[in-house]
Amino acid sequence: MSVRKKPSKKAARNAEIIIPDKLYFRIGEVAGLCRLPAYVLRFWETEFPQLKPVKSSTGQRMYRKRDVESVVRIKKLLYEDGFTIAGARVQLREETKSERNQSALPFPGRPSVSVGHLRNELRQILHILSARH
């Protein structure tokens, strides 16, 4: 007979959160996914400008997937990394700023291979293939 040790609260809290592929989540769904009380999510909405769920016609908070991802990130910063709310707010702002400052992939101003050259190569391939039949 083996006795399984119950996982600690900290281990359960730190377990990876898998976000289902949905457009919108109600606050109760987000609370369940992230293992947080709904009042914490409502409080975080007041503290973190990145967290802005839309409201349905009935006034229900509807979180988008990116909102849920923000909740997961905020939870990690606060509960695992030990940030204060103010520190987490600054960290998120810095992360957002660095994402915006990333440059686009460098593409050459002029293509190295011309369309005419590609067309000629394709004709040669077509000629080789048609000669086999």
- CATH number of domain containing 62: 1.10.1660.10
Q: What is the mean pLDDT of residues 42-67?
A: 92
How many separate domains does the chain show? 1
Instruction: Give the full edge-to-edge strand order of the sheet including 54-55.
Output: 24-26, 61-64, 54-55
If phi > 0 it is left, if psi is from -120 to 50 it is alpha, else beta; for residue 59 that is: left
Mean confidence (pLDDT) of the chain: 82
- Domain assignment present for residue 26? The answer is yes
- Domain assignment present for residue 49? The answer is yes
Whether the pLDDT of residue 47 is over 90: the answer is yes
Q: How confident is the model at residue 16 (pLDDT cuts 50, 70, 90)?
A: confident
**Three-class SS of 100-133:** HHCCCCCCCCCCCCCHHHHHHHHHHHHHHHHHHC
- Domain assignment present for residue 89? The answer is yes
Q: What angle do CA 20, 66, 32 make, to 5 degrees?
A: 50
| Tokens, residue 18 | 């898998």
pLDDT on residue 117: 83
Q: Which residue type sits at 64?
A: R
- Domain assignment present for residue 61? The answer is yes
Q: What is the mean pLDDT of residues 85-113?
A: 75
pLDDT on residue 53: 93
Task: Give the number of C-alpha atoms closer than 13 A to the C-alpha of residue 131, restricted to the C-beta side.
Answer: 6
Quote the pTM value.
0.63
Q: What is the mean pLDDT of residues 22-40?
A: 94
pLDDT on residue 7: 45
Whether the pLDDT of residue 121 is over 60: the answer is yes
Distance CA 87, CA 50 (A): 14
Domain carrying residue 93? 9-98
